[in-house]
A and B are shown apart, each in its own frame.
Chain A
């Protein structure tokens, strides 16, 4: 394949894709790419950009060259993901109960207890099957053939799974011949898996099939397309807070035939907005009384309130400890070395080496509130240095990794761009991991930021079967 790096050959899993690309007539790939974009727009796979005009709906750029992962590589990743997901759930059960890990001094107690993502109201609550984060997206980067690092564990409401599914649909539509040349593991089971996972954590002692809903903040949320997509694919109602009411100790939705009981809420709104009686009193997105019902085991909220504590950026650096503590084994997937600016030694190092580091706000997300040292101007670095000095506990820093690249189609032909990978994992009666995930790609040459809000795009991600 052309353009995959200076004189480098594409790795083995790409052999068939490379040959296929070579065989395409010049303008054909560009034509397919344009067609794919118009398909996305017609389907309405758009996201809203906060701060932009209210009606703004944008497409996430889609790159037509798939990313390929071999079966052996995937097996290793899958084992590492399962270990991590189970350990993080054990961690959450522990910190909302006996807090053994804090007593053992393996994670600093104040880091958990004083964390904004820690929800004290969850102390002693018993979520079905003891699971807090049923739906996770683990962000992984690769730095060499055999080195995978976890960048972030998204344990609250990870998004992007609809892009994974639609990217595959689009690729199968645009390039059917390419699928004939490879044995690509299907991803289309995800909605069924999600539904099975949600059913498996319904309140116990139901004498009927559980009624599931997806709770969305509404049309103007940036991920609204995904909310409706998932509800549709699972065949469940997509509701807003205004469609739900707590009455007679039950959660009800307002239907054309009156009130109907709801058992499982897959919520896509933040903890703060879930229930104005317990959390943010100004919230109109949530349902008054929902949290009490949840604590009483009358309804299941997925992911559980307080699940954000496990993906807090300041907790992240302790995840290897957490894995060892609950599983007794070393982590399979590595963590990126992280400097916690709350520690004076780390802070000194970060201030000294800021231009070489990635500095992140612990509570930021979506690529906002971060500094990528090597690609920033001196003035930007200085401005950030001031912020870190003022409130060091709010920042962490990591070395910039030599992220792997994948070929993408550009105006000048194929060209390498940095990528990450977000596999989607479900935990209920068992773990369900979809082979592949969402590959995000930094479309700007040399950029390391893959977030869609910062000019990132996506690709179809293939796990090859043997």
Chain B
């Protein structure tokens, strides 16, 4: 496979995952603004921060307003992480690699790209934002389903997996880091209705507010939420699950290409920390520091992968 192809597949998968994550974050932010007692502005600020879009947003807008935030994160062509930009970039990467992806994947992605501007305009006009968020998640699920059902289990698959799960790990870590203070144990004492809504919001933003109950059974406890999203191997968006997939994809590459590359060691080390640790250990290090370490580690791993597999020739 060409190095350029691997690069495009990796970023195609990352941008699809990012489009979905942005839609989830918006969904939660939007929901919180509908609840009583919530400071809408603070919520939107943390949504922007979780999306990694805070500086970009304030370059463009001075104040925070629901319609502006939604527009910036959904449609703004100058925001590389807006859903529109994510779909465009993913589609451009896919189009450059039509030979590497299946027809089902291409059609799912191409149709989403074609339809998005019209659908978005209509839903915004009709004041039906939740419908739009659903639609985005549906398209991402359709693409991912097409990928899992049709793609050859070779390097094509492994590079898309790496893109998907590095992006997902990054997203989960950012959501947690933006809200880490409401997850600290001392907050349980002060946590009234406000924090409980925040906890629910964190779980919703990773589509986990129901599955959480099946795993923990008791009421939201902040460290359980952190445990669920960081360490729980059952939770498909937890850092541990993401790193298990990353590690499996790197093992797949190692197997097809016959020999490990330096990036494997880094991924294994992170996975090892997630497997061996428990929440007590993490809270002792400091949740914020721990998450910061994960986010830095994700970036380093991405550049290691790019170097090891000649993404740039």
Contacts and interface: CB of A to CB of B under 8 A. Distances in A.
Interface string A207-240: 0000000000001000011001101100001111
B27 to A, nearest CB: 27
B213 interface: no
Interface stretch (A41-49, A294-302, A369-377, A379-387): A41-49
Contacts, number: 63
Given A254-B310, A255-B310, A258-B310, A228 B98 contact: yes
Contact of B310 (A232, A239, A256): A256
Interface residues of A, number: 23
A44 B1 contact: no
B2 A237 contact: yes
A243 B2 contact: yes
B138 interface: no
A242 interface: yes
Contacts of B96: 219
Question: Looking at chain B's contact residues, is the secondary structure mostly helix, strand, loop, or mixed?
Answer: helix
Nearest to A229: B98
Contacts of B98: 44, 225, 228-229, 232, 238
Contacts of A114: none
Contact of A242 (B4, B6, B92): B4
Contact of B114 (A41, A219, A254, A255): A41
A205 interface: no
Interface in B88-120: 92, 95-96, 98-99, 103, 106-107, 110-111, 114
B99 A42 contact: no
Nearest to A44: B110
Given A41-B114, A219-B95, A229-B98, A255 B2 contact: yes
B3 interface: yes
Nearest to B108: A42
Contacts of B1: 237, 255-256
A144 interface: no
Nearest to A39: B107
B95 A243 contact: no
B2 A232 contact: no
Given A44-B98, A243-B313, A254 B4 contact: yes
A241 to B, nearest CB: 11
Contacts of A257: 257, 309-310
Contacts of B107: 42-43
Given A219-B92, A228-B98, A232-B98, A254 B103 contact: no
B3 A44 contact: no
A232 B99 contact: yes
B99 A256 contact: no
Contacts of B111: 42
B99 to A, nearest CB: 4
Given A42-B111, A43-B103, A256-B5, 12 more contacts: A42-B107, A42-B110, A237-B5, A243-B313, A254-B4, A254-B310, A254-B313, A255-B1, A256-B3, A256-B6, A256-B159, A257-B309
Which 4 interchain pairs have the tightest Cβ spacing? A228-B98, A232-B99, A256-B309, A254-B313
27 contacts: A42-B110, A42-B111, A42-B114, A43-B103, A43-B107, A43-B110, A44-B95, A219-B95, A219-B96, A224-B95, A225-B98, A228-B99, A229-B98, A231-B99, A232-B98, A239-B2, A242-B4, A243-B3, A253-B2, A254-B3, A254-B310, A254-B313, A256-B2, A256-B5, A256-B159, A256-B257, A257-B257
